[in-house]
Amino acid sequence: MKTMSKLFILLSFLLLSGFSHGQVSTPSWINDARREMEYPASTFYTGFAVVVVRANEGVDAATERATQIAKGELAEKIRVRIASQTTLGRQSSMVGTNEQFSEQFSSAVQTEARAEIANVRVQTYHDRQNREVYAFAHANRFELAGYYRANLNMQMAQVEGLLQTARDLEASGEKAQARRQCEAAVPLLARVRYAQDLLTVIDANATRENLQLQKTEQLYNSMVQMLARLAQAIHIYVESEESNFSRQTTLIENRIKSMLAQNGCSFVNNPTQADFHLFITATTRHHSDAHGFATCYADVEVNLVDTRRRRSVFRDEFSQKGVAATREQAGRRALEDAVPIVAEKILEMINR
């Protein structure tokens, strides 16, 4: 009799435990109606996904897949509204005179818009019987507004700090460093723009004043103007003495100038007007002949002088090998292959 009582108690416990477990493990948000009631569109952005666990796929992998789909659905709802209500309407108000910078800034804004939405919570559930995984992503509009409002203020302060530092560096002649400060501000200002766009969509009380739109445009224009001044502001005077065996050449000088020009440098004919004075000496020598090919070396010496500080900031000597059918061609090949080595080292120094 006691054994029967114990068995009855055990069965009752297992049944109650299973019932209780079922209630806990099956969340209410799986049901469309309950989900919409508990997470109304007036307060939440949501995304929902259900995936079948594939053959040879672990539950964790399927859960991550469902999570990304749900988060992507939520983010897309916000992005669609931003694209239709804000970005297109304000794009014309922030067009700089520097076309290359405008493209760079637009690309940075687009990159920021593709980033994940902050403060998104995700709940998941695995239905073992049907081999399905559910994911539900949700973000509270008011929490989002608070986060991006604080983010906006922080990024604005950082942009202001970088631009002020750039002005100080420009005034003291540190043009390369000033340009780097401006370039560092580009992604931050892009985040400001995106935060403003997002707040316009999710915050009904957002105004032009508390979004700091006028101040943002002023910072943007200031940055464009400074970058335009600094784009070709690093002036270099080049003094080169090169020869390929008995023939004088300017191969390294010409190609170095081309590569440096693509990186924001310009060249002057008067050394007193230069920020840097670059000395290049290069000669070629024959090494050997084998199998119808000549091997030659270019011996290169480089000296980069900071004219403002009146001291050498980089000096080096190296040899570069070249192989070709004739000595002259091999010597030219060696000179050509020396160019990127010289350019990389020089750019590293002037951009410090």
Instruction: Based on the fold, state whether residues 246 and 178 are members of the same structural domain.
Output: no
| Torsion sign over Cα 35, 38, 42, 48 | negative
The reported pLDDT for the residue numbered 3 is 56
Position 196 pLDDT exceeds 50 = yes
Give me the pLDDT at residue 279, please: 96
Phi, psi of 255, deg, nearest 5: -75, -35
Phi, psi of 270 (to 5 degrees): -115, 115
Residues 47 and 92 in one domain: yes
- Report d(CA 155, CA 187) in Å as an integer: 10
What pLDDT score does 100 carry? 61
How high is the pLDDT of residue 265? 83
Here the tokens at position 341 are 């080595």
Q: Are residues 126 and 208 in the same domain?
A: no
Q: What is the CATH number of the domain that holds 291?
A: 3.40.50.10610
- Residues 135 and 199 placed together within one structural domain of the fold: no
Pick from 20-24, 77-81, 96-100, 347-351: least confident: 20-24
- pLDDT attached to residue 18: 47
* pLDDT bucket at 2, cuts 50 / 70 / 90: low
Question: What is the C-alpha to C-alpha distance for residues 100 and 104, in angstroms, rounded to an integer?
Answer: 6
Clarify whether residues 146 and 252 are in a common domain: no
Mean pLDDT of the chain: 85
* pLDDT score, position 6: 53
Selected residue with higher pLDDT from 18 and 64: 64
205 with 170, same domain: the answer is yes
Q: Which domain holds residue 130?
A: 29-140
What is the pLDDT at residue 96?
52
* pLDDT, position 154: 94
Give yes or no for a contact between 135 and 35, defined as CB atoms under 8 angstroms apart: no
Mean pLDDT in residue range 209-214 = 90
pLDDT tens string 267-323: 888 888 888 999 999 999 999 999 999 999 999 999 999 887 788 999 999 999 999
CB 195 within 8 A of CB 211: no
- The pLDDT score that the predictor gives to residue 4 is 55
How confident is the model at residue 81, as a pLDDT?
Answer: 83
Domain count, the chain: 3
Q: Considering 231, 248, 273, which residue would you say is the last residue of a domain?
A: 231
Length of the chain counted residue by residue:
352
- Provide the sign of the torsion angle of the four alpha carbons 256, 259, 260, 265, taken in this order: positive
**192, 273: one domain:** no
Higher pLDDT: 350 or 90? It is 350
Q: What is the mean pLDDT of residues 1-6?
A: 54
- Residue 11: the pLDDT is 52
pLDDT at residue 227, rounded to an integer: 82
- Alpha-helical (H) ranges within the chain are 2-25, 32-38, 59-82, 88-90, 99-113, 141-171, 175-202, 213-231, 251-261, 327-350
Nearest to 231 by CA among 101, 94, 96: 101
Bigger pLDDT: 103 vs 18: 103
In a domain, 2, yes or no: no
Tell me, yes or no, whether 97 and 178 share the same domain.
no
pLDDT above 60: residue 88 = no
- Report yes or no on 22 lying in a domain: no
What pLDDT, on a 0 to 100 scale, did the predictor assign at position 116?
A: 83
Query: Could you say which of 115, 140, 165 is where a domain stops?
Result: 140
**Would 99 be classed as within a structural domain?**
yes
Would 286 be classed as within a structural domain? Answer: yes
16 is a domain residue: no
Domain boundary pick from 200, 231, 262:
231
352 or 61, higher pLDDT: 61
214-226 pLDDT, tens digit per residue, is: 999 999 999 888 8
Are residues 268 and 293 located together in one domain of the fold?
yes
User: What sign does the CA torsion over 36, 39, 43, 45 have?
Assistant: negative
Indicate whether 92 pLDDT > 50.
Answer: no
Measured CA to CA, the distance from residue 337 to residue 292 in angstroms comes to 21
Query: What are the structure tokens assigned to 112, written together?
Result: 């920021």
Query: Are residues 196 and 274 part of one domain?
Result: no
Q: Give a yes or no: residue 64 inside a domain.
A: yes
Whether 12 is covered by a domain: the verdict is no
Instruction: For 48-72, give one letter per residue: b (16+ CB within 10 A) or e.
Output: bbbbebeeeeeeeebbebbbbbbbb
134 and 165 fall within a common domain: no
